[in-house]
Structure 1
Amino acid sequence: MREEDVVRYLEKTPDFFERNPALLEELTIPHPVHGGAISLLERQVSLLRKSNGDYRGQFERLVDVARENEGIMKKSRRLVLKCLSCETLDDFAGVIEEVMREDFNIAYQSLVLFNDTDFDGSVRTASWESSEPILKEMLVNSGCYCGVLSVAESEFLFQSQSNLVMSSAILPLVSREGGQVVYHGVLALGSNRLNHFDKDKGSLFLDFLSDLLSALLLRLLP
């Protein structure tokens, strides 16, 4: 009988060793590490332990992600509740600056609203006509932008701190009118670490935050 015949027979008869349990103790295979012979039962136990360790590692990683997501949601809730109490654009900008710095540990941030004239208060404004040529590459796709900025983009958004920012997340603040997206501003978040904001990590939470802040901003715009 050829080896292939034995393999095919065992594949067609999965209960063979259940009916012949004594054979399991007599079969030997090489140890996966030391090279010595071990029984099939020992090999199965070794594989089960490895699988169990792999599953435990995956479970622990999932728990860590769940805890991180829970923390993010709690911080987001605080941000929304504080923004709901804002009565002016200055209040709005102040809350964002405080929560991003203290809760999210964001080193650099910049809120720019698009308007042809300054609003009452200290919130930075710029006309859409002057901003769009600089920011269009980031805003060409819907949703948030994550990654490294060009020199012109970084200088426009972060001004004197632009040389300190290695990676950024740009949250558009928009409304949708008649099926068209209208840009009211952007919130730029910066880090001195190159991969802190990375498009490969995804931007689901940032998109969620962008939508929330957009809705809260619209309440305060004149």
Structure 2
Amino acid sequence: MQQDEKQLSEKEVAAFLKQHPDFFRKFPDLTEQLDIPHDTGGAVSLVEYQSRLLKEKNTELHSRLQQLIENARRNDRLFEQTRRLTLDLLDAQSIEEVEQSLQDSMRVVYGVDYACITLFVPAMSMQAVTEVEMQHQLLQHFGRKQAICGQLSDEEMELFFHEDNKVGSMAACLLKNDLGILSLGHRSEEYFKSNMDTLFLDYVAEIVSRRLDILL
């Protein structure tokens, strides 16, 4: 008497093995007969194949962990640098000390070549612009934005910085209460770009504004 044989499809076999992950523990001899594709074109046992996959995944996870650790260290350094800058600005006892603290921190800690505060009110030795027309020329660069970044012409750069410096790119932010403008400059034309984030610049400008509000 001929017995009907049911042919299992590949999907049924795969589904069975998925539901019974310990199958090859019960039949370990079968792993030696399996033909698993390998990069070299040869055949390897299931255990060796799984071991290689786990090793690759472990390497990927280790790389991600290292990246997270490095990002955490970078954030710690940035936090400490920002904290020191904030304390220096708050400790400043004159508007000249505010600008000097800003310049020192930006050059030494952040690698920014120029840092400048331009006020719209007279203030001792700091750069002050009281002429309405000159203020208008400065403000027109901002439009409706609170901060700008990128490149300007040499003539336009001179509006934002005290001296005739070779500024390749700049970032500027309006100070609160219409006090003036905070400007950062770098010799490289690629340092400050038009699409960069200005959150840090906005934060520094707010601290400077509050301190100058008290000292002026």
| TM-score bracket for the superposition, by shorter chain length | 0.7 to 0.9
Aligned pairs, number: 205
Match of 2:171 among 164, 169, 172: 169
Match of 1:131 among 122, 129, 135: 135
Distance 1:11 1:152 in 2: 73
Q: Which has the larger radius of gyration?
A: 2
Say whether residues 1:27 and 2:34 are aligned partners: yes
1:26 corresponds to which letter in structure 2? Q
- Structure 2 unaligned segments of length 5 or more: list them: 1-6
- The answer to which of 147-156 and 61-70 deviates more is 147-156
Partner secondary structure for residue 145 of structure 1: strand
Q: What CA deviation, in whole Å up to 9, does each residue of 1:72-97 have, x standing for no partner?
A: 22222222222222222112111111
Match of 2:80 among 59, 74, 78: 74
Q: What CA deviation, in whole Å up to 9, does each residue of 1:52-104 have, x standing for no partner?
A: 22222222222222222222222222222222222221121111112222222
1:124 to partner: Cα distance: 0.4
Name the structure where strand makes up a greater proportion of residues.
1
Any residues of structure 2 matched to 1:145-160 within 5 Å, and which? Answer: 145-158=148-161, 159-160=163-164
Identity of aligned residues (%): 28
Distance 1:112 1:190 in 2: 13
Match of 1:208 among 203, 211, 214: 203
Show the counterpart of 1:179.
Answer: none
Give TM-score scaled by structure 2 length.
0.78
- Structure 1 unaligned segments of length 5 or more: list them: 176-182
After the TM superposition, which parts of structure 1 deviate over 6 Å for at least 4 consecutive aligned residues? Answer: none
Equivalent residues of 1:17, 1:24 under 8 A apart:
no
Q: What CA deviation, in whole Å up to 9, does each residue of 1:117-145 have, x standing for no partner?
A: x22x2110124652334443435224x43
| Structure 1 vs Structure 2 CA RMSD | 2.8
Show the counterpart of 2:19.
Answer: 15
1:122 corresponds to which letter in structure 2? S
